[in-house]
Chain A
Amino acid sequence: MASNKRADSEYTVVVGCGRLGANIANSLSDAGASVLVIDIDKNSARLLSNSFAGGIMTRDATELSALEEAQLRDADSVIVVTNNDNINIMVAQMAKELYGVERVIARLYDPERETVYSEFGIQTISPILLSMQEVNKMLGFSKSEGAE
């Protein structure tokens, strides 16, 4: 079912408008999806492209009132990519537990925490683990456990 979902019927909230957040928001917006970006710093919006057609909210997303205002209840996906792992974990869990958002993805820098939280029901991505897998692939190892 996920494969034939159409971007233009989706409402996605992106928390954290850094390089990753802004790029995700730009590409979703270009694909015609409805996007809302939340960031505590109003200057971060400069990373969004000129064609970005979504909403921008300057709020602290760890506050429940901000998530309320963002109408998280209606969101199909929430992508949490601030530069703080623990804030990402907390916001992701609030989205899932309090607003019942179906798809919640959080970026975690620390691979240790990533392994734990991927077991706790949040979808997590770790730049380090992803890069490791890619490097291993390039080196011709099929498995990603070659950390040591």
Chain B
Amino acid sequence: MKTRVVLVGGFSKAKTLARSLIDRGYHVSVINNDRSHCEELAEIEKLLVYFGDGTKPSVLEDANTFGADIAIALTDSDADNLVVCELCKKRFSVKKTAAVITDPKKTDFFYRMGIDSVICVVTSVAGIIQQQAFMDDISMLMPVGDGQIMISQVPIPVGAPAVDKTLMELNLPRHVIIGCIMRGEKGMIPRGDTRILAGDVLVLISAKQHEGAAVHMLTGR
């Protein structure tokens, strides 16, 4: 059976998320309490749209939330998102709940109330801005496993120490691997004898504490 996802509130976020989830083959419904937003959402193919306040049990029930795999609360109100997730989890046996929140200080509280995934927009955006602003063109793609593992994107400029070397010759630290090389439009999975060229963009998977050293070895910075 298809994975069932219910999105509550958050018009633009819901729109983008719904499209990408449908593309991946999920069965998606959205609940929104603004009629014009609902009409616009209804133009997305295969998306089920329900008009109503998703913090009300009856609306969740009408939207066939019972037993869904994932519920994601995207409204602008932290309180509404908490209630949506709690109702979904406790009343409608949804397997996994996720809430977007505005106030970073409430993250722990939300986890404590049994929400499986708490995404703080402010913290995430601040993190991305810091990365972009201070790391130059080395952009972190994502931290994994509580931020212990970093997946980062490292462009190799002309004259960098890694240019024209094979991965074997590079002798990177043990806790770092080059997972992928983006060369022009193409991405490839490198082997030990793959040679790095100027202009390549490497996707680096590394333990957090070794990332800096690895970037230095590759780019000279």
Contacts and interface: CB of A to CB of B under 8 A. Distances in A.
Given A64-B105, A98-B109, A113 B57 contact: yes
A94 B109 contact: yes
A97 interface: yes
A70 interface: no
Contacts of A87: 77, 79
Interface of B is mostly: helix
A90 B105 contact: no
A110 B82 contact: no
Interface stretch (B43-51, B84-92, B148-156, B186-194): B84-92
B211 interface: no
A112 B78 CA distance: 20
Contact of A120 (B77, B80, B90, B106): B90
Nearest to A90: B79
Interface residues of B, number: 20
B79 A89 contact: yes
A23 to B, nearest CB: 24
B174 interface: no
Tell me if A's interface is mostly helix, strand, loop or mixed. Answer: helix
Contacts of A65: 105
A85 B87 CA distance: 14
Contacts of A71: none
Contacts of A110: 56
Contacts of A97: 109, 112-113
B87 A116 contact: yes
A112 B62 CA distance: 14
A124 to B, nearest CB: 13
Contacts, number: 52
Given A110-B56, A112-B57, A86 B82 contact: yes
Interface in B147-190: none
A113 B55 CA distance: 8
Contacts of A120: 86, 90
B132 interface: no
B210 to A, nearest CB: 36
B113 to A, nearest CB: 6
A126 interface: no
Contacts of B93: none
Contact count band on A: 20 to 34
Nearest to A115: B57
B97 to A, nearest CB: 15
Contacts of B109: 64, 93-94, 97-98
B21 to A, nearest CB: 25
Interface in A49-87: 62-65, 84-87
A62 B79 CA distance: 8
Nearest to A98: B109
B63 interface: no
A63 B105 contact: yes
21 contacts: A62-B79, A63-B103, A64-B106, A64-B109, A65-B105, A86-B55, A86-B77, A89-B82, A90-B78, A90-B79, A90-B82, A93-B109, A97-B113, A98-B109, A112-B56, A113-B55, A113-B57, A116-B57, A116-B87, A116-B90, A120-B90
Query: Which 7 pairs show the lowest CB-CB distances between chains A and B?
Result: A86-B79, A90-B79, A87-B79, A86-B83, A86-B80, A112-B57, A64-B105
